[in-house]
């Protein structure tokens, strides 16, 4: 069995930056165990498998795997798959089935191997729990207690399909100094996946509004995490006092040498989150064939 594959760098248009993604564009017929084994073989933060949709009016169905487990939703595989589908089918609007729900994405072509995609969240982020243990978080992150918190934002657990511990820190310097204490990590960040998305506002940076780093999910540090950015929209909307639409740019992966830019959008009406979307660019950097034998 031979399977074509693509490798993309997502949340960037520059090859060898962003977050790497393996895409299997013709994955129909693969068993769950085979998908998991292929994801382990690529050993990227995620591998996405594009299958025929269950409903003919939709464009495709996605299965998303880390090297260790399947995810119901993830942002950079959704953006990457939307770019592949848009480039291959020359379509500007895509309806993509994921386990979390139906994702509607808009695609813009940049060149023959580069595009941008923005999608509306299939599930708006919801608060799961408070995070009151500031000392524990500081120790787990290797920073000072005084570094926890930024402007009006306070730590909390949110999910837009995947759960994240969201931890604001006071500035970009504190974010840079984060160093994981693995002995304390799972005890402090004990909800699903033990993943922490550490973020701060960046008023002194011209190209973005927020900076973030993501730790956990069995991948150490991740350069660009769309599902975490989606969860973050819940905290931003909850703790932002004004109503209206907000368009922000988030950077991630800079500390790893894999800079990503993620577009964030949310809307509040009558003090409630009514809309959320994320997006970014992606570039194809490799093509090949998996030869899995007879």
Q: Which two tokens stand for residue 276?
A: 């959320």
With b for 16 or more beta-carbon neighbours within 10 A and e for fewer, the 55-77 pattern comes to eeebbbbbbbbbbeeebebbbbb
Report strand pairing: 60-65 vs 93-98. Answer: parallel
Is residue 46 annotated as part of the catalytic site, yes or no? yes
Q: What angle, 0 to 180 degrees and rounded to 10, lies between the N-to-C axes of helices 75-89 and 226-239?
A: 120
Q: Dihedrals φ, ψ of 83, to 5°?
A: -65, -45
Q: What is the rounded CA–CA span in Å between residue 267 and residue 260?
A: 23
Helices (H), 43-147: 75-89, 134-141
- Catalytic choice (34, 41, 46, 221): 46
Answer for the pair 213, 252: CB distance below 8 angstroms, yes or no: yes
**Contact of 18 with 262, CB cutoff 8 Å:** no
Instruction: Output the six-digit token pair for 133.
Output: 């243990």
**What is the CB-side half-sphere exposure of residue 82 using CA atoms within 13 A?**
34
On the CB side of 222, CA atoms within 13 Å amount to 27
Pull the structure tokens for residue 25: 């564009």
Q: Which two tokens stand for residue 209?
A: 């509004």
- Which DSSP state fits 62? E
Residue 189 CB-half CA count within 13 A: 29
**Catalytic residue numbers, as ranges:** 46
């Amino acid at each position: 069995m031979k399977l074509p594959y693509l490798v993309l760098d997502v949340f960037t248009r520059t090859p060898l930056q962003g977050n790497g993604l393996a895409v299997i564009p013709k994955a129909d017929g693969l068993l769950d165990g085979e998908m998991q084994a292929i994801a382990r073989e690529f050993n990227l933060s995620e591998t996405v498998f594009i299958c025929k949709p269950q409903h003919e009016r939709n464009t495709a169905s996605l299965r998303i795997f880390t090297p260790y487990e399947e995810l119901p939703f993830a942002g950079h595989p959704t953006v990457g798959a939307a770019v592949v589908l848009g480039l291959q089918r020359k379509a500007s609007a895509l309806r993509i089935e994921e386990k979390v729900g139906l994702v509607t994405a808009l695609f813009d072509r940049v060149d023959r191997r580069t595009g941008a995609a923005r999608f509306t969240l299939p599930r708006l982020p919801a608060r799961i729990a408070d995070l009151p243990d500031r000392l524990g978080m500081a120790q787990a992150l290797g920073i000072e207690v005084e570094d926890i918190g930024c402007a009006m934002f306070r730590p909390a657990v949110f999910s837009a399909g995947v759960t994240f511990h969201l931890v604001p820190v006071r500035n970009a310097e504190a974010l840079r100094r984060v160093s994981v204490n693995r002995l304390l990590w799972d005890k402090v960040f004990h909800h699903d996946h033990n993943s922490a998305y550490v973020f701060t506002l960046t008023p002194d940076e011209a190209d973005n509004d927020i900076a973030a780093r993501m730790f956990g999910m069995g991948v150490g540090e991740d350069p660009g995490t769309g599902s975490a950015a989606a969860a973050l929209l819940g905290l931003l909307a909850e703790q932002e006092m004004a109503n209206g639409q907000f368009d922000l740019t988030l950077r991630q992966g800079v500390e790893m040498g894999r800079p990503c830019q993620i577009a964030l959008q949310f809307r509040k009406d009558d003090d409630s989150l009514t809309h959320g979307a994320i997006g970014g660019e992606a570039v194809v950097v490799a093509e090949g064939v998996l030869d899995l034998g007879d």
